[in-house]
Amino acid sequence: MTDFEAKLERFESRAAECDVISSLAADRTKRELYLRLGQRYRELADDMRAVIATKNAA
């Protein structure tokens, strides 16, 4: 596993964790915070997929 693949896996895992935490949060502010954080991790995962695809194409 390359460093990029490890980072991709970590971002996907953290996004999933944020989804779970947001679904369990009773406080609306915390729920929204974890939803936004999870979205950011998904964006980072998408960026990492693009890097991996570019690396594999070269």
Mean pLDDT of the chain, nearest integer: 95
Q: Is the pLDDT of residue 25 over 90?
A: yes
Q: At what angle do helices 28-57 and 3-24 cross, to 10 degrees?
A: 160
Q: What is the pTM of this model?
A: 0.90
Mean pLDDT of 32-48: 98
pLDDT band of residue 51 (cuts 50, 70, 90) is very high
Task: Look up tokens 């991709």; give the residue.
Answer: 8
For tokens 């693009």, the residue is 50
* Percentage of the chain lying above the pLDDT 90 cut: 90
Distance of alpha carbon 1 from alpha carbon 19, whole angstroms: 26
Checking if the pLDDT of 38 tops 80, the result is: yes
